[in-house]
Structure 1
Amino acid sequence: MKLGVFTVLFSQKPFEEALDYIASKGLDAIELGTGAYPGNAHCDPAALLADEGKLKAFKQAVDSRGLTISALSCHANPLHPQKAIAKEADDIIRLTVELAQRLEVPVVNTFSGCPGDHEDAKYPNWPVAPWPNDFQEILDWQWTNKVIPYWTETGKFASDRGVKFGLELHGGFSVHTPATLLRLREAAGEVIGANLDPSHMWWQGIDPVQAVHILGREGAIHHFHAKDTTIDPINVNKHGVTDMQSYSLMLDRAWQFRTVGYGHDLKVWADILSALRLVGYDYVVSIEHEDGLMSIDEGFTKAVNNLQQILIKEPVGEMWWV
């Protein structure tokens, strides 16, 4: 496995300065935001695709520092019921796929999106309970009319260009659990896989190790984020795991994101990485730092130091003891 970072963390730094800093920490890979929620501070697909010279210089800047690009990320809602918002998301997803093809990056990370509850809806509707039965009807309508058709078509667009999608399993979107990811993968093909982030598993009550097994046995993990979560044992009883309070209200929230090792100890993280190796994932572990208690540099550095202790890097080789 290789250790990387989602570089939106360093959007305030010029691109090459950010690359130098990342390389100085001993990392192997970068994941780049190309628009939508992550922004495109370091990687503007339209500009790079329009200028071959810029594209070559961009790639050289990465290669010269011994880094690789693990994924291009454009998290957005291409199923948004407001057509202008959906089109903007779809446009950046397709541009990102085209750039990934040119840069020979195998994965584009994004969200599945979430539709409304009918054709004229204005806002997304995320059903989370099977009763009253209205919610089941909404869910069936969404998957039949929006989720599966969109990702079948868009998946083919990516597959034709040698690119896979890593859909982040994230609350608020149609694909948010291993089961919903596998449902879409079965319908739209193996181009669909997970950008698996343990932090979103923990707050939903899912054991990330088991999520790795469920998805990994199907070859459905295309990328991996390293981010932690802590659940407050008192606040969760008041607000539940679907706590709608702002992330800034850390003292009162039921759960919050932490840097690696500050929500779960390194034995838990070692179990996750071992499970990834067990199911055949030997790609990049990409740090995503969203810890409200730590600065960018400190949170990132602690995540690097913690993961370097437990990352499994070398090929297995023969079992010499049998």
Structure 2
Amino acid sequence: MKLGFLTACLPGRSLEEIVRWASQHHFEALEVAAWPDLGNRPFTATHVKAEGFGEEDADRVRRLFDEHDLTLSSLAFYDNNLHPDPDERRGVNDHVMALIDVAALVGCPTVGTFVGRDPGMSVAENLRAAEKLFPRLVDHAGERGVKLVIENCVMEGWHPDGYPGNLAYSPELWEWMFDLGLFLNYDPSHLLWMGIDPVEAVRPYVDKVAHAQAKDIQIFPEKRNRYGWPGIAVGREDPWDVGWWRYRVPGLGQVDWVRVVDVLYEGGFDGVLSVEHEDPVWGGSEARIETGLEVAHRTLRPLIVA
């Protein structure tokens, strides 16, 4: 297993700058943000541009990672593949297809995305729509020797009432995904606030975990007692402000990282555990984000066999 991080936490830096910093601070891998230019959206970045990416670009990226002894573990584009607007949906799908080609060129094993959801349809209706849509993406990935990985993020902000906006939030839905040829980018933090034991949930499915993310979560039960599971209902100006939990870097929340890493090893996982930094306490400036990444490194590094 290798320890890395997702580059989206440093949107203002170039890939070259991030690779150099990661190597100097003893990370071993990077999950590289590869969103298209979407304007000012939180937790997105473009450190690899799919448009016009060719052999020369691939050579440059490979040399950059080789020179710093880093692994490029995944290309990250987490967006709604079931977007209710047909044009938006098509754009997301096409970008996933383009990133599969980029991954094949640079020798990157995975591309990460979401299933997503049309919030105006039931879960069952969305699943039937996804069963028609995803085979094209999965087949293209298979032809190029790449795995499509789905993060189990709930994406509650995509639903007007704070319900799941990404249909990958439970083992029941993982099994459905696996039947389509999709793999899991396992993040234990989302399971914890859903009331699911992240260790026992993943234990039967480690062989389907092609990539893993390390994000922690801090839960405030007294606030949940007020708002309930869906979160703030009255005056919820920010769709992502649930009000009773917040993300933290590993070591500052309630995920049991000893158990998480242990179950991954026990199940035979030998891929990359990638820190996803969305911690509001250690955010706001690049210096604080760097400190957050260092806290995560100090937490996880002793648990991972060198």
TM-score range, shorter chain: 0.7 to 0.9
Q: Aligned AA for 1:289?
A: H
The separation in 1 between residues aligned to 2:166 and 2:248, in whole angstroms, is 22
With over 3 angstroms needed to count, the CA separation of the structure-2 counterparts of 1:290 and 1:40, relative to structure 1, is closer
**Counterpart selection for 1:282 from 256, 263, 270:** 270
**Counterpart selection for 1:140 from 124, 131, 139:** 124
Residue in 1 aligned with 2:195? Answer: 205
Work out which of the two has the higher radius of gyration on C-alpha atoms and give 1 or 2: 1
- Deviation, 1:39, is 4.2
| Deviations 1:42-101 (CA, angstroms, capped at 9, x unpaired) | 11011323xx32321122111110001000111111211201110110111001001111
| Deviations 1:196-236 (CA, angstroms, capped at 9, x unpaired) | 111111111111111220322xx211110000011101001
The separation in 1 between residues aligned to 2:125 and 2:216, in whole angstroms, is 34
Instruction: Indicate if the aligned counterparts of 2:61 and 2:106 stay in contact, CA closer than 8 A.
Output: no
Secondary structure of the structure 2 residue equivalent to 1:281:
coil
**Counterpart selection for 1:169 from 152, 156, 159:** 152
- Note the residue ranges of structure 2 that are not aligned, 5 or more in a row: 155-164, 283-287
Superposed counterparts of 1:26-37, under 5 Å? 26-35=26-35
With over 3 angstroms needed to count, the CA separation of the structure-2 counterparts of 1:312 and 1:125, relative to structure 1, is farther
Residue in 2 aligned with 1:184? Answer: 177
Note if 1:44 corresponds to 2:49: yes
Secondary structure of the structure 1 residue equivalent to 2:72:
strand
Residue in 2 aligned with 1:237? Answer: 225
Residue in 2 aligned with 1:149? Answer: 132
Greater displacement, 12-21 / 282-291: 12-21
- Deviation, 1:248, is 8.1
- Deviation, 1:247, is 7.9
Secondary structure of the structure 2 residue equivalent to 1:222:
strand
Q: CA RMSD in A?
A: 1.8
The separation in 1 between residues aligned to 2:17 and 2:95, in whole angstroms, is 26
With over 3 angstroms needed to count, the CA separation of the structure-2 counterparts of 1:54 and 1:143, relative to structure 1, is closer
TM-score, normalised via structure 2 length: 0.87
Instruction: Indicate if the aligned counterparts of 1:247 and 1:253 stay in contact, CA closer than 8 A.
Output: no
TM-score, normalised via structure 1 length: 0.83
**Counterpart selection for 2:280 from 292, 306, 318:** 292
Residue in 1 aligned with 2:185? Answer: 195
Secondary structure of the structure 2 residue equivalent to 1:261:
coil
Q: Aligned AA for 1:227?
A: K
Instruction: Indicate if the aligned counterparts of 1:287 and 1:300 stay in contact, CA closer than 8 A.
Output: yes
